[in-house]
Amino acid sequence: MTSAGIRVRKTWPQAFRVVWSSLVMVSVSAMLLPAGALPTAQESATWSTSAMAGAQYIILPPRIEGKPKGLTEQQRTIVLNSMRHDLAGSLKRRYPKATVGTTPAGQDVITVTPVIQAPKVLLPWGKLDLKLIFERKNGQQLLLKQQFTLLSLWQQQDDAAKYAYDKLINSLP
pLDDT in tens, 6-57: 444 444 444 334 333 333 333 333 344 444 444 444 455 678 888 899 899 9
Cα torsion for 131, 172, 53, 46, to the nearest 10°? -90
What are residue 18's phi and psi, to 5 degrees?
Answer: -65, -45
Helices (H), the chain: 12-31, 41-46, 49-53, 73-94, 150-154, 160-169
Higher pLDDT, 97 or 124: 97
Instruction: Select the more confidently predicted residue: 16 or 66.
Output: 66
CATH T-level assignment (fold) for domain 12-169: Rossmann fold (3.40.50)
Task: Please tell me the predicted confidence (pLDDT) of residue 94.
Answer: 94
Q: Where are the domains of the chain?
A: 12-169
- Average of pLDDT values for 101-107? 77
Reported for 70-78, long-range contacts at CB under 8 A and 24+ positions apart, including other chains, are 70/121, 70/122, 71/118, 71/122
Per-residue pLDDT for 104 more than 90? no
Q: Which alpha helices (H) appear in 33-117, and where do they start and end? A: 41-46, 49-53, 73-94
pTM for this prediction: 0.69
The mean pLDDT value of the chain amounts to 74
Highest mean pLDDT out of 2-6, 41-45, 77-81, 94-98: 94-98
| 152 CB-near residues (< 8 Å, 6+ apart) | none
- Please say whether the beta carbons of 149 and 167 come within 8 A: no
